[in-house]
Amino acid sequence: MLEIKNLHATAGDKPVLKGLTLTVKAGEVSAIMGPNGSGKSTLAHVLSGRDGFKVTEGSVHYKGKDLLAMAPEERAREGVFLAFQYPVEIPGVGNTYFLKNALNAIRKHRGQPELDAHEFLKLIKEKAKLVQISESLLNRPVNEGFSGGEKKRNEILQMAVLEPTLAILDETDSGLDIDALRIIGRGITSLRSKDRAIVVITHFPRILEHVVPDHVHVLKDGTIALSGGKELALELEKKGYTGLD
């Protein structure tokens, strides 16, 4: 599904990723952990095609295609999804309207018929139950006036509606209380599929109690320093990142 080889990238003029190599297969959940400044969010931004991040060496292939050659909107239509660490508000754009247009753009790209308003409303109400999003939030502008936890749940709602084949979750667990973490964790787990790869980027292993990963990778100084299973996350909880040097 995702094949990253010797990836080097800068944020502005600063080198951040320094030879990162990673494979994520369809059906897998891979957790990427690491201290602040290790390159976790830079990796997410590079994969999504965000401006300000430049690849200087290496390659990224997604479903056999050159991901780096695609514009950000093309990546999204091809099934790449990024849940933001800090979800933005979009005043004046209704949550339901936004998602309906996004989903229909993807369906059109896939050669599928677009959903009409009635069909989409039925779909979004069903998906909203996964993350306990109220109907009042569906009718608000995107993330406007949402609490931190509501914004993060709205990100997972977007994932549930858009059904990406590669989902990158950039610290979706940050700032969540215990109940919100459980809701989001269950929502993510319910979206696991043999045809979908999920990358969970996090500082802390607590999200991995709810979203059990197939692989855990520790990112330090812009490269994968250590890989293992869920037990690696538990070891990090005990020793911290410096304890693994």
Pairwise CA distance, residues 161 & 11, whole Å = 31
d(CA 26, CA 196): 5
Q: What is the pLDDT along the chain (245 residues), one digit of tens a residue?
A: 899 999 999 998 899 999 999 999 999 999 999 888 888 999 999 999 988 899 999 999 999 999 999 999 999 999 999 998 888 889 999 999 999 999 999 999 999 999 999 999 999 999 998 888 888 889 898 998 888 888 988 999 999 999 999 999 998 888 788 888 888 899 899 999 999 999 999 887 888 888 889 999 999 889 998 999 888 888 887 877 776 65
Task: Specify which residues 61 forms β-bridges with.
Answer: 3, 66
Spell out the alpha helix ranges (H) of the chain: 40-48, 72-77, 95-109, 117-128, 135-138, 148-162, 178-190, 230-239
CA dist 56 → 61, 68, 180 (Å): 16, 11, 38
pLDDT given for residue 84 in this prediction: 85
Give the domain CATH number at 37: 3.40.50.300
**Distance between CA atoms of residues 207 and 204, nearest Å:** 7
Q: Are strands 90-94 and 53-62 parallel, antiparallel or unpaired?
A: unpaired
pLDDT on residue 243: 62
What integer pLDDT is reported at residue 85 of this predicted model?
81
Question: What pLDDT score was predicted for residue 245?
Answer: 57
The pLDDT score that the predictor gives to residue 15 is: 93
Give φ, ψ of 108 to 5 degrees. Answer: -65, -40
Q: Which residues form the domain of 208?
A: 2-244
**Number of structural domains, the chain?**
1
In three-state secondary structure terms, 145 is coil
pLDDT given for residue 166 in this prediction? 96
pLDDT score recorded for residue 180:
86
| pLDDT given for residue 20 in this prediction | 95
β-bridge pairing 2-11 and 53-62: antiparallel
Distance CA 242, CA 245 (A): 6
pTM: 0.90
